[in-house]
Structure 1
Amino acid sequence: MSALGPGSLARMMELATVLNFETKDILFREGEQAEYFYCVLSGYVRLYRLNRDGREADIRICGSGDTFAESLLAMGESYHYNAQAAENVTIARFDLQKVRLLAEQERDIARAIIQCLSSYLRSTMDCIANDRLQTAPQRVAQYLLDNCQDCMGTVSIRLPFQKSLLAGKLGLAPEALSRAFSSLRRAGVTVRGRMIQINDVNALKQI
């Protein structure tokens, strides 16, 4: 949206419908006919898939400002995953077909869509690389470091969501996340509920 001119921004906002969902509400299910894409305004939305046995695999945790299902603007007629409110959320919903038509008329909207899809592709590639190159403790350590940039010495961080969501965000099973936090104790990381204390940021960087 920030890349759009005033006229295009106004036309996009005319297509937006703001909705509220409560914790665990399902926004859509994999395989359903796709009519909309979404932007999170507040709260968190969990994207996941199910296998035949009912096991769940988190794909992404979307927070404020994140969009999802936007890839369907380019191709696809059905949703490729499930979307669930991880907590009470407010989202903006956009009609896929109307945005497609608008992108044909407004060049800056088409360009913004391409930039959005490119950014998501890069972040997905980074996620895949991290999954293959980093151990579970390294993924957790990197997340903590990303959230205490420019900090020195002892730092306290409060997770913005439950640890089960953090596990999904990092591509870990909840038990793997617990083991990772346990292994980080030697680097001075202490966990109490959502509060995480880092005794030495420099030590954490060495993980």
Structure 2
Amino acid sequence: MQPEHKAVAHQSLLLRSMPADDAEALLSRASVTKYDRGQTVFLQGERATAIFIVVDGWAKLYRIAPSGAEAVVGVFTKGRSFGEALAFQGDVYPVSSEAVTQCTLLRIDAEDYLRRIRETPETAISLLSATFVHLHNLVSQIEALKARTGAQRVAEFLCELAECKTGACEVVLPYDKILIAGRLGMKPESLSRAFARLKDEGVQVKQNRAKIDDIDHLRIYCEEDPAQAWMR
């Protein structure tokens, strides 16, 4: 494992609140795997035995509906983790995971994490924090589908990815915009219209990069009454 891999893992939600010695102990037994675009990480129905942290690139979680349509449950990029809760239940994955781009994933065995929880309760706190954030994000997705315009949902997605706290910033997106549309419950043409609408809010999208003039302004736009957002 390279030093840069460890640096990303330490900043992830899963490990950032964990005592440094415990995090290092976990990482010493973790493995790093590179995936090509379209390569399967795990399949729906497989036994959940590991937690993953994205070191680089993009990965997605998805389900295949009875109709054969793909429903994107979540997309994850550098520093994001997934698979936490299920891995500790000894249950199966209710979704599949696939590399959206060439990506590097850090794999932590669930048994190793459980062992750290038994030895140091602080490790359990980091797991609870990560699980809470995932739940909060799912609730936010449902709220956004019901109470926000398409442009507001895209703006919120950009705010989630932005690493800057204030001012101007840039967000790197996956090249496959269909992935973003699926994650936000939109059609590709609706996503294009949303990006066009966000130009008036200081967002410029070129290829896979979104330049945001003022992240604070964009956060305020996300929370506006949808009626006002439509009138802009």
Question: Unaligned regions of 5+ residues in structure 1, if any?
Answer: none
- TM-score, normalised to structure 2, is 0.74
Rounded to whole Å, the distance in 1 between the matches of 2:86 and 2:138 is 16
Residue 65 of structure 1, CA deviation: 0.8
Q: Distance in 2 between matches of 1:113 and 1:67?
A: 11
Q: Which residue of 2 aligns with 1:97?
A: 111
1:161 paired residue number? 174
Conserved 8 A contact 2:51-2:81: yes
How far the C-alpha of 1:97 sits from its partner, in A, is 2.3
- Which residue of the partner structure matches residue 150 of structure 1? 167
Paired position in structure 1 for 2:152: 138
Give the 5 Å matches for 1:46-57: 46-57=60-71
Structure 1 residue ranges, 4+ long, deviating more than 6 angstroms after superposition: 185-190, 197-204
User: Using the alignment, how far apart are the partners of 2:214 and 2:87 within structure 1?
Assistant: 45
What secondary structure does 2:116 align onto?
A: helix
SS in 1 for 2:92: coil
Distance 1:185 1:10, change over 3 A: closer
Runs (5+) with no aligned partner, structure 2: 1-14, 222-227
Percentage of identical aligned residues: 27
* Compared CA separation, residues 33 and 200, structure 1 to 2 (3 A): closer
CA root-mean-square deviation:
3.0
Secondary structure in structure 2 of the residue aligned to 1:32? coil
* Counterpart pick for 2:195 among 171, 181, 189: 181
2:57 maps to 43
Question: Aligned residue pairs: how many?
Answer: 203
TM-score by length of 1: 0.82
State the partner residue of 2:8.
none
Q: Partner letter of residue 173 of structure 2?
A: P
Q: CA deviation at 1:141?
A: 3.6
CA offsets, 1:139-187, max 9 Å, x none? 1244456758524xxx9x5643222232234332323212433555676
Alignment of 1:102-117 (within 5 A): 102-117=116-131
Contact 1:73–1:100 (CA<8 Å) still a contact in 2?
A: no
Whether 2:36 is the aligned partner of 1:22: answer yes
Give the structure with higher Rg (CA).
1
In 2: Cα distance, 1:21 partner to 1:80 partner = 21
